[in-house]
Chains A and B, each alone.
Chain A
Amino acid sequence: MKNRFAPILALLLGLFLVLAACQTTPSVQEEATAPAAEEVTQPEATTPAESQEETEPAESGDITIGVALDALFLGRQAEMEGVRAVADEQGVTLLESVADNDPQEQNAQIQSFIAQDVDAILVVAVDNAAILTAIDAAQDAGIPVVTFDRQVDHDWVSYHSGLDSYSDGYACGQYVASQNDGEPHTVLNLLGALNDDNAIQRRDGYEDALTEAGADNLEIIQAPTDWNAEQALAAVENAFQANPDIWAVQIPSDFMQDSIKTALESSGVLANVGEDGHVIVCTIDGAEPGYRATVEGWTDAVVALPLAELGRGALENAITVINGGTPETTDQRFPGTLYTWENAEANADLIWGSAGAE
């Protein structure tokens, strides 16, 4: 067995050596940034802007940017429409990867972008802590990093375009407060996931709006969904069993809209606005299920998020950084707009999920 193993190792070693030898001359950046043999890599105390000062502005057509996404779903596709639109306008080449919510896979994908010597990396982190080592590696290679949707706390991140989740939750809270008749009521506030800043901000915004409106008659109960439609279904059914008089439901993301509809139906409280027994429902995102539910009338309002703008902002600022510029702000927030059952259809062009409902 010993004799068999040795040739295999030799074969593999030889293969890697041949591949490495056949490799074309490393690019200028690789030569400049690759650590010398036996050298321990250490983060450099420079900022992305400082690093870019020494480089010539790149022609847009020569720019290649890696986009590391956490997962593929409607909202992310909408953000990518904005990214791709800017890429088309400016002749930027995009290399896209999807980590399927696996932080190790996402780190490996970012390492692949670094190996490909991309000009910048756009990231929606699977986990904003687990991504840090990958951003360290990008920093070592001198490659600027821009984040969108999910913020990452790392000095090397040049720019972040994110949602204004507090404001989005607040808009829903204001709407519910505007419907308040002063009678004692129970309000169900569904939570996304407690490890997701967007979920926490939406919850806080919603409840702060009710508090600031002086809605002391409203008792708020919370139920976790962990961003899971089945869990949301169970949470709403359980909540209605325990509190049959729930007056309003806050949905943190409208991908779970159909589950909520099923739960309301099975609890015997599904009714359109103006009908007896109607429960006030406000939802956030503006995806097809939320838009459809609002037009149908069983959902009162939807906060449509400007996802394409968020994606546009990320790529535009990445190009700015590549060309040696500095973004006007390092943390830009894009608040959503609330549309009610009365005006959602008329404003379909402004709600990104409306296209899927046609």
Chain B
Amino acid sequence: MVTETVDTINQDRSVNFGRQLGSIFEKASVLPILIPVCLLFAFLAPSFATPTNISALLAVAAVVFVAAVGETFVMLTAGIDISVASVLACSAIIGAAVMGQDGSPWVGLIVSVTVGLIFGAFNGFSVAVLGLTPFVLTLGTHLIARGIAFSVSEGIAMRVPQALRQLGRVEYLNIPFIAFVAVAVLLVAMFALRKTTWGRYIYLLGANKDAANYVGIRHKWIEGSVYVIAGGLAGLAGYLSVINLGVALPGVGDPLLLTIIGGVILGGTSMFGGEGAIWRTALGILLLAVLSNGLNLLGFEFYDKLIVEGLVILLGTGLAVRLGRAS
């Protein structure tokens, strides 16, 4: 009798675990790809799971992730900000220009974030108040920010104080400094989305703008605020890129736009708004970073790497849609 009861309890636990795992995979559709990919790379590339490599991987992912958090906020409202990568570069360049090689890194941080906030405020006002289409508007902002970045820097890398370059090499428990900043951004953003009224309104606005309007939500304020935050985070990401590279580059954002938006979508945040999460974006960005890193370690040619990355993104997106329907 006792044995039967224990067996029943074990069976229940097993079923519950299976359901819980299924629920996790429904919400985090990247995991069924990320986990096997990590295991495969660890098996095939002996240096993949070394502290040195994981540290390098996290440093690359951190810059992209911080910018992607802002993009997630925007996409949750069913908007899009394609200026984020250029604002990142522009913020880095203007921050570096004001700092010079002898200035205070704090000044650089404040200037970079402020520049991002200004671009974000412009985007937010134009979308929320003037009612401009986010894609077209931010395409324009993208060109302006890119133009300013190249104009101020004259197309060349701008040197920054030595202290910032040193900061890029600071590690704690083999985790780079900028990864801690990214984790802090992750936690604050998750808190804001889940625990504040503002965060819940973002979901509601993205899911049904009319309903949000009907219940009296100040949707213009909410819609504008996500662009401001996306701009500010792009500015912070620009500053992190300066720490990571040791210089400010006018073209630093060029290759990042698709990774940022791709990471958000791959993570499972809907382009149509109302569904998604910051931690999902973290997984999406992590998958892209792991893929790039692992394929590098395996010695894939540049063009072969693109094909594999493209295939995995297709697979991930398909899986996200499939699991989304199932849930």
Contacts and interface: CB of A to CB of B under 8 A. Distances in A.
B255 A100 contact: yes
A4 B24 contact: yes
Contacts, number: 164
Interface in A88-125: 95-98, 100, 102-105, 107-109, 111-112, 114-117
Given A16-B54, A104-B255, A136-B165, A109 B296 contact: yes
Contacts of B246: 129-130, 132-133, 136
Interface in A274-313: none
B26 to A, nearest CB: 9
A193 B155 contact: yes
B49 A22 contact: yes
A45 interface: no
Contacts of A195: 154-157
A11 B24 contact: yes
A23 B50 contact: yes
Interface string B62-106: 010000000000000000000000000000000000000000000
Interface stretch (B3-11, B34-42, B216-224, B311-319): B34-42
Contacts of B46: 23-24
Given A38-B173, A104-B60, A107-B244, A194 B249 contact: no
A107 B172 contact: no
Interface stretch (B116-124, B131-139, B206-214, B297-305): B297-305
Contact of B174 (A2, A37, A108, A114): A37
Contacts of A96: 299, 301
Contacts of A114: 52, 56
B189 interface: no
B285 to A, nearest CB: 13
Interface string B13-50: 00000001001100110010011001100100011111
A186 B286 CA distance: 56
B171 interface: yes
Contacts of B296: 97, 108-109, 112
Interface in B267-296: 277, 279, 283, 286, 292-293, 296
A179 B310 CA distance: 54
A19 interface: yes
A2, A112, A226, most chain B CB atoms within 10 A: A112
Contacts of A108: 56-57, 59-60, 292-293, 296
Interface of B: 20, 23-24, 27-28, 31, 34-35, 38-39, 42, 46-57, 59-60, 63, 154-157, 159, 165-166, 168-174, 190, 194, 241, 244-247, 249, 252, 254-256, 277, 279, 283, 286, 292-293, 296-297, 299, 301-302
29 contacts: A4-B23, A4-B24, A4-B27, A8-B27, A8-B28, A8-B279, A12-B34, A15-B38, A37-B174, A40-B169, A41-B170, A42-B169, A72-B302, A100-B255, A102-B254, A104-B256, A105-B292, A108-B57, A112-B53, A115-B56, A116-B47, A116-B297, A117-B47, A128-B157, A129-B249, A130-B246, A133-B244, A195-B155, A195-B157
Question: Which 10 residue pairs of A and B lie closest in terms of their CB atoms, listed nearest first?
Answer: A111-B56, A115-B53, A98-B302, A19-B49, A129-B157, A195-B156, A133-B246, A102-B255, A115-B47, A129-B247
Given A40-B170, A111-B55, 18 more contacts: A5-B277, A20-B50, A35-B174, A42-B169, A104-B241, A108-B59, A108-B292, A111-B56, A115-B47, A115-B53, A117-B47, A127-B247, A128-B157, A129-B159, A130-B157, A133-B168, A137-B169, A195-B154
